C-alpha cells in the first residue's frame, strides 16, 4: 500500500522515492523478459482447438452438397454462416462468412463505403472531402489504423462505463454531417472491458435517424462470447434495436473465431442488412472468387453440437480468468486505497485498461520496459497515438503464465508508484 502522496512532506517523498528506486533496481536485476502488449490467445488456449486439424477426415462435402475444395460461394458455407449467426445474434441470411480476419473485413467494408458507397451512386464517403469517423477513447489501435490508412479524420469521443458518451456522439452527429462512421466494440470493449448498456445500444440504433443516410456504425463484436464468468453482463441485440428504430442499414456487425479457435486462422463474419450486403458483395466479388471453405467447414463441424461453443468458451475462461484475477489483485493491492490509478474490474474480453495520474503513462511504460516488462506503447489507445492526458495503458495478460503475470504486475505497480512519487516531488 502506498501512503496518500498529498499528505507527505518533501523529505518523506524523497525517502519514499529512494526506497522505490532501490526496489526498482533490484527488480531490474531479475532480468525479466515479459510481454503484456497484444491480446493474443496463449498456447494452452490454442491447444483447445487442435482437433480442427484433420477434422474433415477426407469428407469435403458441405451440407448443401458443395465440394469445399473448389472455388466459389462468396457468402460462405451455410453451416458456417450459422455459426456466425450465433455469434452475432442475427438471421443466417444476413450473415456472410468470409476469410480468416474480421479486421480485413472491416477494412474492406470501410474501403467500400469510402470509395464505392454502400447505397449506390453518390453515397461514397470520399465525395465529402471532410469525411470523419467518431472513435470512442480509449479504443482499439487497429480500428484507428484503418481510418488513418483511408485518410478519414478521427474524432475522439469519451468512453463511459456504459459505452461511448452518447450525448457527445449525438451532438457531434447533429452538428457535423461529414461524420460517416462510429467504431464500437460493444461487449468487453478493447481496452476498457465494459459492456454497452441496453440504453446505449438503443441510442446507437437510433443514430441512423440523426445522421445522414451514408452513416454507418462499425459494430466490432469481437468478444461477444468471451465472458470470464457466467454472471458477466449480456449485450442487447443491436439489430433488434435497429429493426425497432427502422435503421437496419446503419449498422455493420463483425466477429471472428480468432479468439475462439486459432488466431489468424479462424473464420470472420459480417452481419448486415440486405441492402448493405448486396453492395459489399458486389465490391468483394472484384476481390475474390470466394473464401476458404475448407476452413469454414472444419469450423462448422467443430462446433456442430448444440452447446459446444459455450462449453469451448468456458475452457478459454478457465485459462484466462486466473491471469485477469492476478492483474486485478495487484492493482487492488497497490492502488485500491489511493488515487494513483484507475481501472475497471472486467468480466470478459482480453484487456484491462489502466489510467495513471495525468502525464505518467509514457513514463510508466518506459520504466516497465527498463525492468523487462513490455507494455503497449502509451497513446496507442487513442487516434493518431495521442492520449491528451498521457494516462492510459492497456494491459493484455492472456499470453504470459499466471506466475509471469504476477511478476509483470509486481513491476507494473512499482513503476506506476515510482513515476507518481517522482511527479509529486516535482510539484
Q: Contact residues for ligand PMP (CB under 6 A)?
A: 39, 101-103, 140, 185, 190, 220, 222, 256, 258, 263-264, 268
Dihedral sign, Cα of residue 41, residue 47, residue 49, residue 54: positive
Residue closer to ligand PMP (CB basis): 185 or 419 = 185
Whose CA is closest to 228, among 101, 346, 393?
A: 346
CA 110 to chain CA centroid, nearest Å: 17
State the minimum distance, in angstroms, from the CB of residue 339 to ligand PMP. 29
State the minimum distance, in angstroms, from the CB of residue 364 to ligand PMP. 22
Residue closer to ligand PMP (CB basis): 84 or 117 = 84
State the minimum distance, in angstroms, from the CB of residue 256 to ligand PMP. 3
State the minimum distance, in angstroms, from the CB of residue 215 to ligand PMP. 21
Helix (H, G, I), strand (E, B) or coil at 263: coil
Residue closer to ligand PMP (CB basis): 185 or 232 = 185
User: What is the H or E stretch that residue 292 is in?
Assistant: none
Residue closer to ligand PMP (CB basis): 2 or 257 = 257
Whose CA is closest to 279, among 132, 114, 131, 149?
A: 114
Write the secondary structure of 60-127 as one string of H (helix), E (strand) and C (coil).
CECCCCCECCCCCCCCCCHHHHHHHHHHHCCCHHHEEECCCCHHHHHHHHHHHHHHCCCCCCCCCHHH
State the minimum distance, in angstroms, from the CB of residue 211 to ligand PMP. 22
- The number of residues in the chain equals 427
Residue closer to ligand PMP (CB basis): 87 or 241 = 87
Residue closer to ligand PMP (CB basis): 335 or 354 = 354
Residue closer to ligand PMP (CB basis): 38 or 281 = 38
State the minimum distance, in angstroms, from the CB of residue 72 to ligand PMP. 23
Report whether 207 contacts 247 (CB < 8 A): yes
State the minimum distance, in angstroms, from the CB of residue 253 to ligand PMP. 12
DSSP string for 5-55:
GGGS-HHHHHHHHHHHHHHHHHHHHT---EEE-S----HHHHHTTGGGTTT
Q: Which residues pair with 132 in a beta bridge?
A: 153, 179
Whose CA is closest to 239, among 92, 47, 51?
A: 92
Distance (Å, whole) CA 283 – CA 98: 14
State the minimum distance, in angstroms, from the CB of residue 144 to ligand PMP. 12
Residue closer to ligand PMP (CB basis): 52 or 185 = 185
Amino acid at each position: 500500500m502506498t501512503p496518500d502522496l498529498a499528505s507527505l512532506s518533501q523529505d518523506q517523498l524523497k525517502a519514499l522515492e529512494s526506497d522505490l528506486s532501490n526496489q526498482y533496481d533490484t527488480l531490474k536485476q531479475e532480468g525479466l523478459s515479459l510481454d503484456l502488449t497484444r491480446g493474443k490467445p496463449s498456447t494452452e488456449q490454442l491447444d483447445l482447438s487442435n482437433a480442427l486439424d484433420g477434422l474433415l477426415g477426407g469428407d469435403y462435402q458441405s451440407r448443401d452438397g458443395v465440394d469445399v475444395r473448389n472455388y466459389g460461394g462468396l457468402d460462405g458455407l451455410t453451416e458456417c454462416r450459422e455459426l456466425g449467426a450465433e455469434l452475432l445474434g442475427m438471421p443466417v441470411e444476413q450473415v456472410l462468412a468470409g476469410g480468416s480476419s474480421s479486421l480485413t473485413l472491416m477494412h474492406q467494408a470501410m474501403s467500400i463505403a469510402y470509395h464505392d458507397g454502400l447505397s449506390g451512386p453518390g453515397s461514397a464517403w470520399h465525395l465529402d472531402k471532410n469525411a470523419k469517423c467518431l472513435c470512442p477513447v480509449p479504443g482499439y489501435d487497429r480500428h484507428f489504423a484503418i481510418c488513418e490508412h483511408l485518410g478519414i479524420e478521427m474524432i475522439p469521443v469519451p468512453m463511459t462505463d456504459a459505452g461511448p458518451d452518447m450525448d457527445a456522439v449525438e451532438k457531434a452527429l447533429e452538428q457535423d454531417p461529414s461524420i460517416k462512421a462510429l467504431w464500437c466494440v460493444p461487449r468487453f470493449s478493447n481496452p476498457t472491458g465494459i459492456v454497452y448498456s441496453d440504453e446505449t445500444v438503443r441510442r446507437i440504433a437510433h443514430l441512423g435517424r440523426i445522421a445522414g443516410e451514408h452513416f454507418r456504425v462499425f459494430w466490432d463484436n469481437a468478444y461477444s462470447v468471451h465472458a470470464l464468468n457466467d454472471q458477466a453482463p449480456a449485450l442487447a441485440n443491436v439489430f433488434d434495436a435497429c429493426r425497432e428504430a427502422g435503421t437496419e442499414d446503419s449498422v455493420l456487425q463483425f466477429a471472428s473465431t480468432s479468439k475462439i479457435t486459432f488466431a489468424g486462422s479462424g473464420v470472420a463474419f459480417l452481419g448486415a442488412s440486405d441492402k448493405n450486403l448486396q453492395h459489399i458483395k458486389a465490391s468483394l466479388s472484384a476481390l475474390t472468387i470466394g473464401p476458404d471453405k475448407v476452413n469454414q467447414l472444419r469450423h462448422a463441424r467443430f462446433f456442430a453440437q448444440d452447446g459446444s461453443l459455450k462449453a469451448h468458451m468456458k475452457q478459454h475462461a478457465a485459462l484466462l480468468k486466473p491471469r485477469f484475477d492476478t492483474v486485478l489483485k495487484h492493482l487492488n493491492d497497490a492502488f485500491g486505497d489511493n488515487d494513483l490509478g484507475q481501472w475497471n474490474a472486467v468480466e470478459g474480453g482480453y484487456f484491462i485498461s489502466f489510467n495513471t495520474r495525468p502525464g505518467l503513462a509514457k513514463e510508466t511504460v518506459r520504466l516497465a520496459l527498463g525492468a523487462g516488462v513490455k507494455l503497449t506503447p502509451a497513446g496507442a489507445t487513442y487516434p493518431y497515438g495521442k492520449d491528451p492526458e498521457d494516462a492510459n495503458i492497456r494491459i493484455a495478460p492472456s499470453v504470459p503464465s499466471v506466475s509471469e503475470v504476477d511478476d509483470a504486475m509486481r513491476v507494473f505497480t512499482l513503476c506506476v508508484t515510482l513515476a507518481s512519487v517522482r511527479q509529486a516531488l516535482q510539484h
